[in-house]
Amino acid sequence: MLKQKLCIWFICCFFSTVLFAQGPDLATPQSKVLLTLAGNITEHNAGNVLQLGRDQLLQFPQRTIRTETRWTEGVTEFKGPLVRDVLTAAGAQGSIVSALAANEYQIEIPTADFESYDVILAIEKNGEPLTVRTKGPVWVIYPWSENADLENGTYYSRAIWQLVKLEVND
């Protein structure tokens, strides 16, 4: 009897782990590629890079940040996955992320930012998908209203919009 109960318990634990611990599907995206990760990563789905579409970004736990920015009026609600979750899923190892926008703007962001603050890859603004016209489809958003230390030029310059690539470096 005890053996049966232990066996049933083990099976339940195993399937719970399998069902609930699965991360996002990192296979080649079926939708338009919004973000490419490169550099020191272990997960790849297109040569030596990891490409993610909107559907894949939505598979990560979504975080909402309500904040004021230099580019929007009043408090704006942004939603998307935490950068640290996406980097972890990619198997990223490094201290710097080089972020590249569609217009070739490039900025280096220390990975420490993503551990210290709940920085997101915003894919929605006020409940609507971000578009190129609204600084999307991916925009790096810091929780400025939650932390006064972030309200300076350094962190505003890292809020890269129309983000297309993150390259992880040492």
pLDDT for res 165? 98
CA distance 67 to 124: 13
What are the residue ranges spanned by the domains of the chain?
24-169
pLDDT at site 108: 98
Rg (CA), the chain: 18
- Which residue carries 């939603």 as its tokens? 79
Using alpha carbons, select from 52, 47, 30, 39 the residue that is nearest to residue 92: 39
Give the domain 24-169 fold. Sulfite Oxidase; Chain A, domain 2 (3.90.420)
pLDDT value for 10: 45
In the prediction, which pLDDT does 126 show?
98
pTM reported for the whole predicted model: 0.87
pLDDT at 15 over 50: no
Say whether pLDDT at 86 is over 60. yes
Provide the pLDDT for residue 23.
81
Query: Tens digits of per-residue pLDDT, 39-59?
Result: 999 999 999 999 999 999 999
For the segment 121-154, what is each residue's pLDDT rounded down to a tens digit?
999 999 999 999 999 999 999 999 999 999 999 9
Does residue 6 register a pLDDT over 90?
A: no
